[in-house]
Amino acid sequence: MSELRTPRRAVAAMFMLNGSLLGAWASRVPAFVEKFGVSERSLGLLLLCLALGAIVAFPFAGGLSDRLGADRLTRILGAAFTVLICLLPVAPTVGLLGLVLFLCGMTFGAMDVSMNAWAAEVERHLKKPIMSSFHALFSLGSGLGAGSGWIAAATGTGTLPHFLILAVIAGPLALWVAQVPWNSSRGASGPAFALPKGPLVLVGLFAFCSSLGEGSMVDWSAVLLQSVYGATEAQAALGYAAFSVTMVATRLAGDRITTALGPVNAGRICGSVAVVGALVVIFGGSLATALLGFALLGVGFAVVVPLAFSRAANDPFVPPGQAIAGVATLGYGGLLIGPPAIGFIAEATSLPTAFGLVAVLSVCIVLLAPTLRPPGEPAAGASAREA
């Protein structure tokens, strides 16, 4: 069965594993809230531990990737993340839970960097754009992980057996598929951490707005459905699943959407859909309409980050690698800052009010969409699509 293992499938397996572990955690957040009886503010602090772990890992992940190779580092981190996720349910105190979340954040963040580096190598090798498909598979993995949470909650399965079953099935399978001959570049040097410069700052903010909303979906969708709409734990897990499914479908069609509409119009339309989705979640009034809102948010956020990366790669003044790294750094910041920000605002006001931040940032996506137009290109663009 070795013919089933190709470099593209190897990277795809790592994206799915990373997403499925994150989705499983997201779907069971209410169970941890109930177990420890934490407030919204305390939950925000716990989620901040996850974010801080990833932030700490980012500067080191690039250097480790250079020394060990992106493929090897991705496999190591995939195995570590699989093990660490199983330690969350056995944490006896909130403090130790925060520590394990910090370690999970480190492995998740570092793996995100290394698997994207490996994906870029495979993309260059195949000489065709395939990055969007990898991100679609991350979203698919997240949806499957959230779906496993719904099944576990509906059947009364605790978080420990749930995470163990997922780890035993998904971990070894993904790592087996990822065992392919591949010569990642090793020993390369370069900046470990990059920030966007010039016009790319606005492109980075464009990605940041979407990433913050996406990060909020990961950790707060289930809590919002449960606390605001009275959903059961099993029903609450459907929020992130709905978001992930529509995000996968839209990302799979992302290249065709951009070709048909042009990047600026695609950004504007997607941002507008996200605004509607956020408002439906906040003011829908029922569980069914809230789920529709999460589905619309999945559509709205799906292609924003890929559009930002494409704009960065084609910047006429900054080398592609440096440009993408800078935009990604700011974009990842949104993914990590979103969950604790929602928690802190919810503690001071209410969860629906805090969720209004997602709506505001979705408006910003619409306003920042023109930054996708490269410098020097007229407002009408190369075709009437951008007029």
Asked whether the domain spanning 194-375 has the same topology as the one spanning 1-179, the reply is yes
Give residue 376's region: left, alpha or beta (phi > 0; psi -120 to 50). left
pLDDT of residue 46: 87
Angle at alpha carbon of residue 28, lines to 158 and 10, rounded to 5°: 100
SS3 of residue 193 by DSSP = coil
CA distances from 120 to 19, 125, 165, 319, 324 (A): 18, 9, 31, 15, 11
Beta strands (DSSP E) in the chain are: none
Would you say domain 194-375 falls under CATH 3.40.50.150? no
- Predicted local distance difference test score (pLDDT) of residue 387: 39
Q: Residues 142, 230, 362, 327: is their CA dihedral positive or negative?
A: negative
Give one DSSP letter per residue of 271-327, joined into a string: HHHHHHHHHHHHH--SHHHHHHHHHHHHHHHTTHHHHHHHHHHT-SSS-HHHHHHHH
> pLDDT value at position 383?
44
At 292 the pLDDT is 96
All residues at 6 or more sequence positions from 51 whose CB lies less than 8 Å from its CB, including other chains: 105, 336, 337, 339, 340
pLDDT score recorded for residue 182: 84
Q: Give residue 351's identity as a one-letter amino acid code.
A: L
- pLDDT of 3 reads 66
Q: Is 38 exposed, middle or buried (0-12, 13-18, 19+ CB in 10 A)?
A: middle
Domain boundaries, the chain: 1-179, 194-375
C-alpha radius of gyration, the chain, whole number: 20
For residues 107 and 56, is the Cβ–Cβ distance under 8 A?
A: no
Nearest to 308 by CA among 342, 258, 349: 258
**Helix-helix angle 320-348:351-368, to 10 degrees:** 150
Distances (CA, A) of 86 to 81, 153, 158, 378: 9, 17, 12, 53
Please say whether the beta carbons of 267 and 304 come within 8 A: yes
| Closest of 18, 231, 27 to residue 112, by C-alpha | 18
pLDDT one digit per residue (tens) for the chain, 387 residues? 556 789 999 999 999 999 999 989 988 988 998 888 888 778 878 888 987 887 777 767 766 777 788 899 999 999 999 999 999 999 999 999 999 999 999 999 889 878 877 887 887 788 876 777 888 888 889 889 988 998 999 899 999 999 999 999 999 999 999 999 887 666 555 555 556 778 889 999 999 999 898 888 877 888 899 988 988 888 888 888 899 889 889 988 887 888 788 889 999 999 999 999 999 999 988 999 999 999 999 999 998 988 887 787 677 787 555 666 677 778 877 877 777 888 889 889 998 999 999 999 999 999 999 999 877 665 544 444 443
Domain 1-179 has CATH 3.40.630.30: no
Asked if residue 182 lies in contact with residue 10, where contact means CB atoms within 8 angstroms, the answer is yes
> Token digits for 27?
């779907």
User: Hunting for tokens 């994206």 — which residue is that?
Assistant: 15
CA 263/CA 269 separation, integer angstroms: 10
